[in-house]
Amino acid sequence: MAATEKLAVMGGKPVRTAPWPKWPLFTEQDVADLGAVLRDGRLTSITGPKVREFEEAFAAKFETRHALATCNGVTALHLAIAALGIGPGDEVIVPAHTFIGTAIPVLMANAVPVFVDVDLESFNIDPAKIEAAITERTKALLPVHLNGLAADLQAIQALAAKHGLFLIEDACQAHGGQYRGRTLGTLGRIGAFSFFEDKVMTTGEGGMLITDDAALYERARRLRSYGEELVTSIGERKYEHTALGFNYRMSALNAALGLNQLPRLEAMVAKRNRNAAYLREGLEKVPGIIPPKEVPGCRHAYYKFVCRIDREVLELDALTAVEAIKAEGVAATPRYPTPLPLQKVFREKIGYGGTDCPYGCRRYGREPAFLTGSWPVAERIGKEAFVLLVHPSIEEPDLQDAVRAVRKVADHYRK
């Protein structure tokens, strides 16, 4: 494509005008199973068996002893933190470049998220920078398998063991991803997943906590439903509350979708990897565009295909690139332009009810600072990273258009 071709965002002819393929796609079986739940009328985990069926199927698929369905990924992480007894005065280490849903559960426990910079190539937390952030108040490491790629778990596990810390895996973007032959979410004390609408597998809304620890599972199970004493039979309740709990339950409708998604997970991840391979091959030939890293020994789940702009080659930032690519008819989004610790809710230490808790908690006794320049890699990625989609409804002609659109934009902005 000629370097002088006029961009669509500047009035030129777009690469494509056809709508971008939708995701998620549901089957007639999904529709039938939702109808069956509605006809049955037992829509909750308290009254009906569907949620428990999904939990058992998920545990079997992920080869873990216990699975607990929740209403979203944030609540799965919150239950993990609460079940581990993390609370006021405690710190949890999280990456500076991630979705805010990783840090919110820490605040929900009145603990303090301590942000650590990330690796430029993988976008995941940089293990080399974790140890300097560990204090006597640190209770857990919370790495994220961002975009579907495993964090460096060998190094992170070693740090957790050395300092006696809990390891919680945020696998909300990594269903079906692997690290050295093991499924992501199963290598820590607890793993958490999200089933939001656009995830690798979806129930519309929903989440899952998994663990091999029976005591942690029982504690989380109690907290999930108002801190109630547990009963063994569906439909029975004691109305005895022994802990400060929540209503984080999944509905039977979400569980019905999840049960149908599980058998399709391997095929969906395989299609995402094929689509990613096609994009990588095409974009590696475009000067100034850096496709996402492949890591030996890891199976990427490719929730998102995240590229970086080499700004020594292109006079271009991520937000400008996204608008130009979208104008060409190809789906594209920025990827967390502002690091979490530099967003207002953290920078100004905004807590619940207009307070500065948990930062001002008397049990904490510190004054964290959220200053520009403290997380230089995360700040750089925010200016350089953009997302292309590789979900299973995308076919080769769509991928060809994506490569053409990115090349067209890169050609225009080449120095």
pLDDT digit string (tens) for 362-382? 889 888 889 999 999 999 999
Q: What angle do CA 348, 353, 354 make, to 5 degrees?
A: 35
pLDDT of residue 28: 96
pLDDT of residue 4: 67
The overall average pLDDT reported for the chain is 95
Beta bridge partners of 169: 191
> What domains can you pick out in the chain, each with its CATH number?
28-116+123-264 (3.40.640.10)
Distance separating alpha carbons of residues 74 and 251, to the nearest angstrom: 16
| pLDDT under 70: residue ranges of the chain | 1-4
- pTM of the predicted protein model: 0.95
pLDDT of residue 339: 97
Put residue 373 in one of left, alpha, beta given phi > 0 → left and psi -120 to 50 → alpha: left
Beta bridge partners of 225: 247
